[in-house]
């Protein structure tokens, strides 16, 4: 009997406590679509993440590359102004134009969008860093996708650094509450990371993708080299910039690049809805399907271009990026009608487009007399049919192109005391638009000539503010303080700290480790 | 007596014929057992001395038993002295009176994983009196709790059939999580109470403090635990109980609205005041409009029946018992097309297999088909409706001069003739069919092994399958939104499966005056849900909604997937008392849950309480006032889980974006982060609760009182925190520093007011005060609102369910606009001022039980005060900013300078987004105190009068053991200053951040009921 008792007790005890054995694995329930899922770390999975990296450049995050860059670079500078009047639908643009952004400014300069895209690049890089069970995921395929993600991450960080100076360098997908609130790195460390990413990208990317028509929608080695050249230049490292320019430029421009790149003959084709796609001049471009679906059209067309290319339908919408009289004058005084008519269209204030007066009736920028010609930028799409943005918006946006690197090489040569070699490169760009060769020869005159050439070549293409800052901080501040409207009135009071934008208040509120830029 | 053979053919009201045949060679004894205060005693065990078998008394104290001549019957029940009566030929009708034991508190109450004598309880537990269940048209358990237990606030926030109630035990503890208590039915934790036929419930106890609920750990024990025991068979001859009832419901109230001509006057005023006196072309009046005066409430609200029927067959013998039940409930809505049907079937059985082993099990099935009120706006499908333009909103706002049917189509007309967005309420009801169908099966099996040394071992395994099918169809012929897309149809299937395995060892023993009860257990649980959604639009033939014929099947309507969670827990409890004088309870539970961060997946919940029964002390022996006196105190931890399922993992989203990799714009899937960062450190939300209370009884237990003070501090608040953009993610679920504090006092008084032999009257009164405060540094979280802004907010320093907005100072007699307060002298009307709270300061109930001879009368009153309601219906119905119909209160509107009134001027388009004409900068229809009303109420919840025919000979002669007929009235009278349908209504349901928002919600019904309870 006693033995029986013990057996009973043992049985019950076993029943109760055998369940203790299941423990951890029983509770470790993972979501079907978790990041570390083995089905994500596959050829198809990584491709889908990479797809998303590119798709984000045409969805809401992609607004940065559709028009925020124009606000940051053209509206902030002497190229363009904010066309909104009293009905401010986008105060951030107004603040950017008038240097009134401050410590309470909400984002408008791309912080949200660029970090949104960086997060997806980080995701791909992290997932690809772990061993995969997929035999189809070859090292070369994985390497190419990681290199593509690093190219894009460098592009996004470069744009952040240009706008905000040193930023928070988030390089991984974090999963704890603390690691996601990080301080800003030093500017040198930011550039170091961008250069490292691009170096990896150059090593891992192909020159071209076989059997792909839209080559320039993908990350390629020439695109990474072109971007790296720009990064070096912005950092002030003209020696490395020169070497990198030579690596990508074709022999015609003294380079060793093997790619089949050349300037398009007709400058205006670069902004023509029907001709700007897959040109020989493009290293990297964002193409849009257009049409009614928001994630696939170039939203900027509606915000910047006139409603109707024939300029017969009044547009009630006030444009965010409008060319200044100063820019128009520069084109006219330089005799550069080809490039002026390539990047903008005009309509007559008094005769055709009366409603336009409502928002261009701004004495700071344009006269309101009957003969005034009102310019609109068409660099991000030429028109929206029928006065609504439900159609159109299919124009490609070329992010990196040959002329940029040719002029950058000229700038690098001039900055490394090889002014004589720089001049023919500038002339090559001028020749396309039927302008005579440069007459200046001194290093300082050529430097100014290159800056001026870049203004005319890249007007309305999101380059000006960085070009000015590269030329000189004080020069930029003085230029803006001396900028006048057509009546000769000075418009801005600019201090050196305003070369950088204020860190958005939302970041500071949610990230105590992040500091505001000096002066704000 | 005589050798008898009896054959009964019994025709039941709604059911098939039941044949019952038995033959015995003995005498039949019946009778009634009452207490010394002449209260009928139910569940008294009637056994035969020296023999197996026996019976128990029913709810009226009646019993019938067949015994050998000269046998001795033993009557016993806890709390009363046992009594033995020998029966002979002459005494077949017994009247037995049992005297209560001097302690009076030997009743057993159900606690977590066991039972305890009431006198030894050291925690806060409410026993719900459910004697009136069979005489009320109660459709669910939550309704049965209303007004019955101190500290338990039950609110019917939506009157639609099939809707849940809000049950709050000692207030809201969480900012984001679930506030519902845990339901435990016959030991099955987290039982789906929708499957329970309320007629099968034997007892309900509510565990309120940490010492009582802590043993349930992380599964929401912070919200209290409702312990339900169902009726079991007893060892006796088969017994059949039949309950049938028929109720008639009607709306409690209708609101006075403008007539067509009054509306037209108002519309003209709106145009004139907006400066459009010369162009009133927006007002489109149908021909002959002055002769059409549709009161849409009259056309809409109907008298609706509730039919209930249930049959239980139970019995037992030879160490076993069983019960079988079937039930039917059909509740039509007071709005057409709406209603809910339930079919129940259940079986429970238990059998001793020798001395050592008992096995048992149960299975319940319910099928519920609910026709929901369509969503607030056309095209949305939120069950239960509500919000702007809902059916009940449109019942007020739809033009009185609009036609009911469109003569060109023969269907309900959609247009109110002014092209307004609020559609015909009948078109909404008939145009959208929103049906949910549940099939739920609960099954449980258990074994109890009696081990040596007084140890017993219980193993219980249970499973729950819940299939939910949703079918939502919008008819393009009647629904304006669906007309454009050719009708829409959605077919959604959700299947949930849970299994739960409990293993418990229990040891109890007494050593002299030391009494010890120890349990230890382990439990594991796993939940899986799978769903698939199919839908489409553009059907070629209206009326045929086969998805295969849909013209469009967008990805938003076609989806599928699965989710899981699991839990693994160990727990133990020690209960000790010395002479029932010094009492101690200590519990500990260790829970592991997959919903917690992997770094904090285990949580431990300790709790304990002590009690001192002073009345058991020597020095109390000679006093006559207290028949019982106990003080008790407890403290412990309880928990709540985050609602996110996989907090430890970063999760991906698949997008169907498009990028021009290749010409043609082919779509490629894109994988990205879903934006919520993983937090492997997330912990359970912890509520530490202190409870101090006392129980006392006076004058031989004729008057009893229980009082409790509690203080609940909830920390580690589960909160979704925004992340900086630089992290690449949008938010993360964290444990927020800070607290939600609930503290309060609960008092229950019960007394036997009259104990005369012919007339008895017992009464229970309870009152609860709860104060809720958020003490956490949170960015204010907006809850539900109206088109001009959020109404309900969670804010640091305020109660959950507080309203914020402008403070109205009435109508400016010069301009007709509302003046808003500027307390900080900013020169402008100030927003975000505190307007009151939706949670009551105090609430409770008062129940009365009267017996006079065969009559009984139950009266239940519930009340609440200090609660405010935001009457958002008035935003639409007294706003006077568009052309819709308004309440007749707008007849007193401001019309000319000098008018002193509380109703502002009528002005077209005047709302918060059109403020140009308002000298006070803000519109008349802003979120303001203008719409905040006092929601205090006293309600005659239930009155039931019943008559017991059991003592009539003719009843017995046809073999009926008991028969009772009753008439009951539910929600008959509500005394309140609230101007809407009912102050209980809330568009936000049980969400902590939307309380007290009455916005187009389905109103409550009153009901009269006739019913019969029959036992064979």
Share the mean pLDDT of chain B.
Answer: 85
Q: Is the pLDDT of residue A312 over 90?
A: no
Which pLDDT score, from 0 to 100, does residue B477 have?
Answer: 84
A271-280, B51-60, B524-533: range with lowest mean pLDDT = B51-60
Q: Which among B524, B657, B729 has CB closest to A119?
A: B729
Phi, psi of A293 (to 5 degrees): -80, 120
The whole-angstrom separation of Cα B525 and Cα A111 is 45
The DSSP code for B51 is S
pLDDT class for A270, splitting at 50, 70, 90?
A: very high
Residue of A nearest to B356 (CA): A8
Q: What is the mean pLDDT of residues B371-390?
A: 61
pLDDT class for A466, splitting at 50, 70, 90?
A: very high
Residue of A nearest to B519 (CA): A16
Contacts of B651 in chain A (CB under 8 A): 31, 33-35
Tally the residues of chain A. 520
Interface probe, candidates B458, B524, B724, B735, chain A, greatest A C-beta count within 10 A: B724
Interface probe, candidates B531, B662, B671, B732, chain A, greatest A C-beta count within 10 A: B671
Which pLDDT score, from 0 to 100, does residue A246 have?
Answer: 97
Q: Which among A27, A56, A511 has CB closest to B601?
A: A27
Contact across the interface for A27 and B722, Cβ inside 8 Å: no
Run of H or E residues at A430: helix A419-432
Which pLDDT score, from 0 to 100, does residue B989 have?
Answer: 83
Contact across the interface for A51 and B671, Cβ inside 8 Å: yes
Which pLDDT score, from 0 to 100, does residue B139 have?
Answer: 83
Q: What is the mean pLDDT of residues B715-744?
A: 90
Q: Which among A51, A54, A180 has CB closest to B669?
A: A51
Contacts of B884 (CB under 8 A, 6+ apart): B397, B398, B399, B416, B418, B420, B422, B876
Q: What is the mean pLDDT of residues B974-998?
A: 91
% of chain B beyond a pLDDT of 90: 46
Q: Is the pLDDT of residue A506 over 50?
A: yes
Q: What is the mean pLDDT of residues B621-644?
A: 89
Contact across the interface for B671 and A118, Cβ inside 8 Å: no
Give whichever of A20-34, A343-357, A370-384, B582-596 has the largest mean pLDDT: B582-596
Contact across the interface for B681 and A176, Cβ inside 8 Å: yes
Closest approach of chain B CAs to the CA of A121, in angstroms? Answer: 9
Contacts of B727 in chain A (CB under 8 A): 115, 119, 170, 174, 180-182, 511
* Span between the terminal Cα atoms of chain A, in Å: 87
Give whichever of A102-106, B158-162, B994-998 has the largest mean pLDDT: B994-998
Q: How do strand B997-998 and strand B868-871 relate by DSSP bridges? A: parallel
Q: Is the pLDDT of residue B635 over 90?
A: yes
Contacts of A19 in chain B (CB under 8 A): 501, 503, 522-524, 568
Which pLDDT score, from 0 to 100, does residue B79 have?
Answer: 59
Q: Is the pLDDT of residue B25 over 60?
A: no
Q: What sign for the dihedral angle of Cα B538, B544, B545, B550?
A: negative
Q: What is the mean pLDDT of residues A271-277?
A: 85
Closest approach of chain B CAs to the CA of A343, in angstroms? Answer: 24
Which pLDDT score, from 0 to 100, does residue A5 have?
Answer: 56
Contact across the interface for B655 and A115, Cβ inside 8 Å: no
Q: What is the CA radius of gyration of chain A?
A: 27
The whole-angstrom separation of Cα B381 and Cα B712 is 37
Q: Is the pLDDT of residue B541 over 90?
A: no
pLDDT class for B7, splitting at 50, 70, 90?
A: very low
Burial of residue B150, with CB atoms counted within 10 A of its CB: 0-12 exposed, 13-18 middle, 19 or more buried = buried
Q: Is the pLDDT of residue A100 over 50?
A: yes
Closest approach of chain A CAs to the CA of B645, in angstroms? Answer: 8
The whole-angstrom separation of Cα B464 and Cα B600 is 28
Which pLDDT score, from 0 to 100, does residue B570 have?
Answer: 93
Encoded tokens for B547: 């998805």
Contacts of A59 in chain B (CB under 8 A): 657
Residue of B nearest to A23 (CA): B568
Q: Which of B847, B870, B999, B754 is nearest to B144 (CA)?
A: B847
Contact across the interface for A115 and B726, Cβ inside 8 Å: yes
Contact across the interface for A29 and B567, Cβ inside 8 Å: no
The whole-angstrom separation of Cα B850 and Cα B848 is 6
Encoded tokens for A403: 């002329």
Q: Is the pLDDT of residue B19 over 50?
A: no
pLDDT by residue (tens digit) across A354-402?
333 333 434 445 544 445 567 888 898 876 544 444 456 778 889 999 9
For residue A89, the SS3 value is: coil
pLDDT by residue (tens digit) across B577-592?
998 899 999 999 999 9
pLDDT by residue (tens digit) across B119-146?
889 999 998 888 777 778 788 888 889 8
Contacts of B726 in chain A (CB under 8 A): 111, 115, 167-168, 170, 182, 507, 511, 514
Closest approach of chain A CAs to the CA of B484, in angstroms? Answer: 19
A80-94, A329-343, B684-698, B766-780: range with lowest mean pLDDT = A80-94
The number of helix segments (H) and strand segments (E) in chain A equals 21, 6
pLDDT class for B918, splitting at 50, 70, 90?
A: very low
Q: Is the pLDDT of residue B501 over 90?
A: yes
% of chain A beyond a pLDDT of 70: 83
Interface probe, candidates A6, A16, A130, chain B, greatest B C-beta count within 10 A: A16
Q: What is the mean pLDDT of residues A12-18?
A: 57
- Pairwise pLDDT comparison (B988 vs A123), residue with the higher score: A123
pLDDT by residue (tens digit) across B676-704?
888 989 999 999 999 999 999 988 788 99
Side-chain half-sphere of B6: how many Cα atoms within 13 Å? 17
Q: Which of A404, A48, A494 is nearest to B661 (CA)?
A: A48
Q: What is the CA radius of gyration of chain B?
A: 31
Contacts of A323 (CB under 8 A, 6+ apart): A79, A80, A343, A344, A375, A376, A377, A459, A460
Contacts of A213 in chain B (CB under 8 A): 662-663
Q: Which among A13, A20, A55 has CB closest to B655?
A: A55
Contact predicate A246/A254, CB 8 Å: yes
- Pairwise pLDDT comparison (B661 vs B476), residue with the higher score: B476
Q: Is the pLDDT of residue B758 over 50?
A: yes
pLDDT by residue (tens digit) across B848-878?
999 898 899 999 999 999 999 999 989 888 9
> CA separation (Å) from B234 to B299, B316, B320?
51, 5, 8
Place of tokens 């009293």: A86
Closest approach of chain A CAs to the CA of B672, in angstroms? Answer: 6
Which pLDDT score, from 0 to 100, does residue B101 have?
Answer: 55
The number of helix segments (H) and strand segments (E) in chain B equals 9, 56
The whole-angstrom separation of Cα A37 and Cα A132 is 10
How many beta-carbon pairs below 8 A join chains A and B? Answer: 231
% of chain B beyond a pLDDT of 70: 91
pLDDT class for A185, splitting at 50, 70, 90?
A: very high
Contacts of A56 in chain B (CB under 8 A): 657, 670, 672
> CA separation (Å) from B638 to B192, B216, B909, B925, B931?
21, 8, 51, 43, 38
pLDDT class for B658, splitting at 50, 70, 90?
A: low
Report pTM.
Answer: 0.81
Q: What is the mean pLDDT of residues B945-968?
A: 87
Q: Is the pLDDT of residue B198 over 90?
A: no
Share the mean pLDDT of chain A.
Answer: 84
Give whichever of B395-404, B418-427, B505-514 has the largest mean pLDDT: B505-514
Contacts of A49 in chain B (CB under 8 A): 670-672
Contacts of B663 (CB under 8 A, 6+ apart): A213, A214
Q: What is the mean pLDDT of residues A130-145?
A: 91
């Amino acid at each position: 009997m006693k033995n029986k008792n013990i057996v009973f007790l043992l049985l019950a005890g076993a029943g109760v406590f055998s369940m203790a054995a299941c423990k951890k694995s029983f509770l470790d329930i993972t979501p079907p679509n978790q990041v570390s899922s083995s089905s994500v770390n596959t050829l198809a999975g990584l491709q889908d993440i990479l797809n998303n990296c590119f798709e984000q450049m045409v969805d809401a995050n992609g607004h940065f590359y559709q028009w925020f860059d124009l606000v940051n670079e053209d509206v902030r500078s002497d190229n363009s102004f904010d066309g909104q009047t009293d009905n401010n639908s986008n105060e951030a643009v107004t603040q950017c134009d008038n240097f009134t952004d401050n410590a309470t400014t909400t984002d408008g300069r791309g912080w949200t969008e660029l970090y949104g895209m960086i997060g997806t690049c980080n995701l791909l890089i992290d997932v690809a860093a772990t061993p995969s069970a997929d035999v189809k995921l070859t090292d070369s395929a994985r390497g190419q996708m990681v290199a593509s993600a690093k190219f894009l991450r460098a592009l996004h960080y470069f744009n952040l650094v240009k706008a905000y100076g040193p930023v928070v360098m988030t390089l991984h997908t974090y999963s704890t509450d603390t690691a996601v609130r990080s301080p800003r790195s030093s500017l040198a460390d930011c550039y170091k990371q961008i250069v490292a990413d691009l170096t990896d990208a150059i090593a891992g990317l192909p020159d071209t993708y076989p059997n792909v028509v839209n080559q320039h929608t993908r990350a390629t080695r020439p695109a990474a080299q072109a971007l790296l050249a720009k990064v070096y230049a912005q950092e002030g490292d003209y020696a490395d910039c020169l070497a990198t320019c030579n690596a990508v430029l074709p022999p015609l421009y003294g380079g060793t690049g093997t790619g089949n790149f050349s300037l398009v003959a007709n400058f205006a084709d670069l902004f023509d809805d029907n001709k700007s796609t897959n040109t020989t001049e493009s290293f990297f471009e964002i193409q849009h399907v257009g049409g009614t679906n928001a994630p696939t059209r170039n939203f900027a067309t509606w915000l910047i271009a006139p409603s109707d290319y024939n300029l017969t339908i009044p547009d009630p919408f006030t444009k965010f990026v409008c060319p200044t009289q100063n820019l128009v004058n520069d084109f006219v005084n330089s005799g550069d009608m080809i490039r002026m008519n390539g990047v903008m269209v005009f309509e007559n204030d008094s005769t055709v487009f009366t409603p336009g007066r409502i928002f261009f009736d701004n004495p700071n920028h344009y006269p309101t007399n009957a003969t005034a010609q009102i310019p609109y930028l068409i660099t991000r799409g030429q028109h929206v049919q029928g006065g609504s943005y439900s159609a159109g918006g299919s124009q490609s946006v070329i992010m990196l192109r040959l002329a940029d690197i040719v002029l950058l090489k000229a700038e690098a040569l001039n900055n490394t005391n090889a002014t004589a070699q720089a001049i023919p490169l500038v002339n090559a760009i001028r020749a396309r638009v039927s302008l005579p060769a440069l007459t200046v020869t001194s290093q300082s005159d050529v430097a100014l000539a290159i800056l001026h050439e870049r203004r005319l070549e890249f007007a309305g293409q999101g380059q000006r503010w960085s070009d000015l800052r590269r030329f000189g901080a004080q020069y930029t501040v003085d230029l803006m303080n001396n900028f006048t409207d057509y009546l000769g009135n000075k418009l801005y009071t600019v201090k050196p700290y305003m070369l950088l934008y204020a860190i958005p208040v939302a970041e500071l509120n949610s990230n105590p480790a992040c500091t505001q830029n000096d002066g704000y | 007596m005589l050798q008898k053979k009896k054959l009964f053919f019994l025709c039941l009201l709604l059911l098939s014929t039941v044949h019952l045949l038995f033959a015995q060679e003995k005498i039949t004894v019946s009778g009634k057992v009452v207490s010394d205060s002449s209260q009928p005693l139910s569940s008294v065990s009637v056994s035969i001395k020296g023999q197996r078998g026996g019976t128990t008394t029913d709810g009226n104290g009646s019993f019938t038993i067949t015994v050998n001549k000269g046998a001795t019957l033993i009557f016993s029940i806890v709390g009363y002295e046992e009594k033995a009566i020998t029966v002979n030929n002459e005494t077949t009708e017994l009247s037995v009176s049992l005297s209560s034991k001097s302690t009076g508190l030997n009743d057993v109450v159900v606690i977590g994983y066991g039972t305890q004598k009431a006198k030894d309880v050291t925690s806060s537990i409410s026993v719900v009196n459910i004697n009136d269940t069979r005489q009320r048209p109660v459709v669910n358990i939550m309704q049965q709790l209303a007004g019955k237990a101190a500290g338990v606030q039950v609110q019917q926030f939506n009157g639609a059939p099939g809707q849940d109630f809000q049950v709050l035990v000692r207030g809201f503890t969480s900012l984001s999580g679930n506030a519902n208590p845990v339901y435990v039915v016959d030991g099955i934790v987290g039982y789906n109470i929708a499957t329970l036929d309320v007629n099968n419930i034997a007892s309900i106890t509510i565990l309120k403090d940490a010492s009582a609920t802590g043993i349930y750990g992380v599964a929401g024990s912070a919200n209290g635990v409702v312990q339900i025991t169902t009726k079991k068979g007893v060892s006796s001859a088969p017994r059949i109980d039949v309950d049938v009832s028929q109720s008639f419901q009607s709306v409690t109230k209708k609101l006075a609205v403008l007539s067509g001509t009054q509306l037209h006057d108002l519309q003209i005023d709106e145009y004139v005041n907006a400066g459009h006196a010369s162009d009133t072309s927006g007002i489109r009046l149908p021909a002959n409009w002055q002769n059409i005066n549709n009161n849409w409430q009259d056309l809409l609200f109907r008298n609706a029946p509730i039919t209930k029927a249930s049959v239980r067959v139970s019995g037992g013998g030879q160490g076993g018992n069983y019960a079988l039940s079937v039930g039917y409930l059909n509740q039509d809505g007071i709005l057409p097309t709406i209603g809910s049907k339930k079919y129940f079937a259940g079986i429970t059985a238990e059998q001793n297999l020798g001395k050592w082993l008992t096995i048992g099990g149960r299975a319940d099935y319910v099928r519920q088909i609910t026709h929901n009120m369509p969503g607030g706006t056309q095209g949305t499908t939120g069950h239960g409706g509500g919000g702007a333009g809902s059916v009940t909103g449109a019942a007020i706002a739809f033009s009185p001069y609009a036609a009911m049917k469109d003569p060109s189509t023969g269907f309900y007309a959609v247009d109110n003739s002014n092209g307004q967005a609020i559609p015909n309420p009948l078109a909404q009801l008939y145009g959208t069919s929103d049906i949910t169908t549940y099939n739920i099966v609960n099954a449980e099996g258990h074994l109890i092994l009696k081990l040596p040394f007084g140890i017993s071992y219980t193993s219980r395994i249970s499973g729950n399958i819940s299939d939910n099918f949703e079918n939502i169809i919008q008819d393009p012929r009647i629904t304006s939104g669906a007309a454009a897309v050719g009708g829409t149809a959605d077919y959604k299937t959700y299947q949930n499966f849970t299994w739960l395995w409990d293993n418990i060892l229990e040891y109890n023993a007494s050593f002299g005056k030391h009494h010890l009860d120890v349990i230890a257990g382990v439990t594991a649980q796993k939940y899986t849900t799978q769903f698939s959604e199919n839908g489409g639009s553009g059907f070629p033939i209206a009326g045929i909604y086969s998805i295969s014929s849909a013209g469009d099947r967008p990805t938003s309507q076609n989806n599928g997937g699965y989710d899981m969670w699991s839990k693994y827990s160990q727990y133990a409890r020690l209960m000790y008392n010395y002479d029932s004088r010094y009492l101690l309870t200590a519990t500990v539970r260790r829970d592991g849950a997959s919903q917690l961060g992997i770094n904090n997946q285990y949580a431990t919940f300790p709790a304990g309480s002590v009690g001192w029964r002073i009345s058991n002390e020597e020095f109390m022996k000679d006093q006559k006032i207290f028949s019982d006196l106990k003080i008790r105190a407890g403290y412990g931890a309880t928990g709540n889980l985050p609602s996110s399922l996989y907090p430890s993992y970063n999760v991906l989203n698949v997008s169907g974006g498009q990028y021009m990799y290749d010409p043609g714009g082919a779509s490629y899937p894109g994988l990205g982060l879903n934006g919520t960062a993983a937090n492997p450190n997330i912990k359970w939300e912890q509520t530490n609760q202190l409870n101090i209370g006392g129980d006392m009884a006076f004058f031989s237990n004729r008057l009893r009182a229980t009082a409790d003070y509690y203080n609940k501090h909830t920390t580690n608040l589960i909160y979704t925190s925004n992340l900086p953009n630089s992290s690449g993610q949008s938010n993360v679920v964290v444990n927020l520093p800070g607290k939600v504090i609930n503290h309060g006092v609960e008092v229950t008084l019960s007394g036997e007011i009259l104990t005369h032999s012919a007339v008895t009257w017992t009464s229970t009164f309870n009152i609860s005060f709860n104060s809720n405060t958020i003490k956490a540094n949170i960015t204010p979280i907006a809850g539900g609102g109206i088109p001009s802004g959020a109404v309900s907010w969670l804010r640091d320093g305020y109660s959950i369910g507080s309203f914020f907005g402008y403070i109205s100072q009435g109508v400016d007699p010069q301009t007709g606009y509302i003046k808003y307060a500027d307390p900080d002298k900013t020169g402008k009307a100030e927003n975000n001022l505190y307007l009151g709270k939706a949670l009551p300061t105090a609430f409770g109930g008062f129940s009365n039980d009267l017996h006079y001879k065969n009559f009984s009368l139950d009266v239940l009153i519930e009340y609440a005060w200090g609660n405010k309601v935001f009457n958002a219906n008035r935003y639409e119905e007294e706003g006077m900013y568009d052309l819709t119909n308004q309440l007749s209160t707008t007849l007193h509107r401001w019309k000319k300078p000098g008018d002193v009134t509380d109703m502002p001027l009528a002005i077209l388009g005047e709302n918060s987004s059109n403020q140009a004409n308002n000298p006070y900068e803000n519109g008349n229809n802003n979120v303001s105190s203008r719409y905040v009303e006092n929601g205090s109420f006293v309600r005659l919840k239930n009155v039931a009068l019943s008559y017991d025919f059991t003592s009539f000979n003719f009843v017995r002669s046809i073999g009926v053991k008991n028969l009772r007929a009753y008439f009951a009235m539910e929600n008959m009278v509500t005394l309140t200053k609230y101007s809407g349908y009912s102050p209980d209504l809330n568009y936000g349901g049980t969400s902590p951040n939307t309380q007290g928002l009455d916005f187009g919600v389905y109103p409550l019904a009153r009901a009269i009921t006739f019913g019969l309870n029959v036992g064979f």
